[in-house]
């Protein structure tokens, strides 16, 4: 293991220790500790929901549901497990539920809304979409619609939310081989889509 890899691992272990301390405080009745859990994770979870195609309003609803489930099931969290993976697993399931409900209601996706020419700022209702360049962000969100649901989730978690392959696999409940396969397919499709976009603009 390289020095940089060791430092990344140590930082992740330190974050997990801090979260476990917060969980102990929550279970002792300290609700301020739960607010800290929300503060640490809310922006990235809302960003993931937007990147998966939810509207800002649906992303806010998804975020609220994620933290309701965290609070409800926190007593069953096993201290030997990785909290970050646990909360991402909840977030993945909640976002999938939201996407399913939207499809069943026949609603237009947020990507289609962007495709219509609507402006998409990099911050929406306090949600940072996690990409600094607004035009690049809008174009990427449009192109993500060409991916399958699992390809898109793998790309979002790994490339935009910085989870490693093993964390993505555990959060999604799939194998690391499947993560790599979906990731490679997603990158290939996105590269083709971006090239088509550049060709059309010339």
The 10 Å Cβ neighbour count of residue 137 is 19
- CA proximity to 42, closest of 76, 23, 19, 67: 67
pLDDT on residue 88 = 97
How sure is the predictor about 128, in pLDDT bands with cuts at 50, 70 and 90? very low
Contact 130, 52 (CB under 8 A): no
Please tell me whether the overall predicted TM-score, pTM, comes out greater than 0.85 for this model. Answer: no
State residue 132 phi and psi, 5-degree precision.
-80, -40
Digit-coded pLDDT (tens) for 48-60: 999 999 988 999 9
What share of the chain in percent tops pLDDT 90? 51
Rounded to whole angstroms, the Cα distance separating 146 from 148 reads 7
* Ramachandran quadrant class, 117 (left: phi over 0; alpha: psi -120 to 50; beta: rest): left
pLDDT on residue 192 = 87
Q: Within 13 Å of residue 92, how many CA atoms lie on the same side as its CB?
A: 26
- Which three-class secondary structure state does DSSP give residue 12? helix
Rounded to whole angstroms, the Cα distance separating 102 from 122 reads 23
Q: Does domain 42-201 have CATH number 1.20.140?
A: yes
Contact 194, 141 (CB under 8 A): no
Q: Which helix (H) or strand (E) holds 124?
A: strand 123-124
Digit-coded pLDDT (tens) for 167-193: 999 999 999 999 999 999 999 998 888
pLDDT on residue 123 = 42
Rounded to whole angstroms, the Cα distance separating 21 from 24 reads 5
- CA proximity to 134, closest of 151, 124, 122, 146: 122
Residue ranges covered by each domain of the chain: 42-201
The 10 Å Cβ neighbour count of residue 166 is 12
Q: Which helix (H) or strand (E) holds 127?
A: strand 127-128
Rounded to whole angstroms, the Cα distance separating 54 from 102 reads 9
Digit-coded pLDDT (tens) for 66-105: 999 999 999 888 777 889 999 999 999 999 999 988 776 6
How sure is the predictor about 18, in pLDDT bands with cuts at 50, 70 and 90? confident
């Amino acid at each position: 293991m390289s020095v940089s890899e060791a430092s990344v691992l140590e930082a992740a272990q330190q974050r997990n220790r801090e979260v476990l301390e917060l969980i102990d405080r929550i279970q002792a009745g300290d609700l301020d500790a739960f607010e800290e859990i929300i503060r640490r994770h809310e922006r990235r979870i809302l960003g993931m929901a937007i990147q998966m195609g939810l509207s800002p309003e649906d992303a806010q609803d998804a975020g609220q549901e994620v933290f309701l489930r965290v609070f409800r099931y926190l007593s069953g969290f096993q201290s030997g497990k990785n909290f970050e993976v646990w909360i991402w697993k909840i977030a993945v399931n909640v976002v999938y539920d939201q996407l399913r409900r939207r499809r069943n209601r026949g609603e237009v996706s947020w990507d289609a809304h962007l495709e219509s020419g609507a402006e998409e700022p990099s911050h929406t209702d306090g949600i940072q979409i996690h990409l600094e360049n607004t035009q690049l962000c809008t174009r990427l969100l449009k192109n993500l619609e060409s991916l399958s649901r699992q390809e898109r989730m793998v790309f979002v978690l790994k490339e935009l939310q910085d989870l490693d392959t093993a964390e993505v696999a555990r959060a999604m409940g799939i194998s690391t081989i499947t993560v790599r396969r979906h990731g490679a397919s997603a990158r290939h499709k996105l590269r083709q889509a971006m090239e088509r976009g550049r060709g059309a603009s010339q």
